[in-house]
Amino acid sequence: MRNVFHEQLDAVFEDLTRICGQVEIAVRRATESLLTGDAAVAEQVITGDAEIDRAREKVEESAFELLSLQQPVAGDLRVIIAALRMVTELERMGDLSVHVAKIARLRVPNVAVPDAIRATMTSMGETAEDMVRRVGQIIEKRDVGAAIELGRDDEVMDRLRRDSFAQLLGDDWEHGVEAAVDIALLGRYYERIADHAVSIANRVVFVVTGQNPRSIES
């Protein structure tokens, strides 16, 4: 049955899709600033984060209103709680993009990523951005199949992170401690963006099916 509650819930999910689009731009620009050393682009990510924070607050207020006025129970209640958790994770992904951009800014006029590891870090940035783009579509279309697939692809990021460590800790690393520390932390930030994308995808599976992905796959 479609009713006011479900129309308002749809509006919340439209907001989530829109915020995911903002996060996608933040991740793309953060990676761009990192690979080019462009301080202006890094600055865009850092100052632009306030907009994502405001959008999160708006979703939270809508969700509280829905909870307070519509008094949902059972499944509907869990869907709104899931939406609240999704927006928290999206905001966090924005924060992580800011962390990437701040490392980029710190090294201007240099580039934080040495050429030797540029390919790995480019792939990490592209993988993170791609996962955020896909999770936006997953939220928009409530696409359970794509959500389960995203969970499986998380291993791409894990492999890239292992590759980056192998390079940093290899005998032929000649870029010193500072670059190694930057790369290790950047890898951590991108990995967390990917973790959150998978977590949001799992929440969409739960929202649509009432089950967690693991119980569906098995």
Site stretch for a second copy (CB under 8 A), options 5-13, 42-50, 69-77, 202-210? 69-77
Residue 49's closest CA among 76, 64, 29?
Answer: 29
Among 6, 78, 107, 133, binds a second copy (CB under 8 A): 78
Give the whole-angstrom CA distance, residue 200 versus residue 151.
Answer: 10
User: What minimum distance in Å lies between the beta carbon of 95 and a second copy?
Assistant: 10
For a second copy, the closer CB: 145 or 215? 215
The reply on whether position 5 binds a second copy by CB under 8 A is no
Site stretch for a second copy (CB under 8 A), options 7-15, 50-58, 147-155, 183-191? 183-191
Residues within window 146-175 making contact with a second copy, judged by CB under 8 A? 165, 168-169, 173
Return the structure tokens found at 31: 């990676």
Among 3, 7, 74, 109, binds a second copy (CB under 8 A): 74
The contact set with a second copy (CB under 8 A) reads: 64, 67-68, 71, 73-74, 77-78, 81, 84-85, 88, 165, 168-169, 173, 176-178, 180-181, 184-185, 188
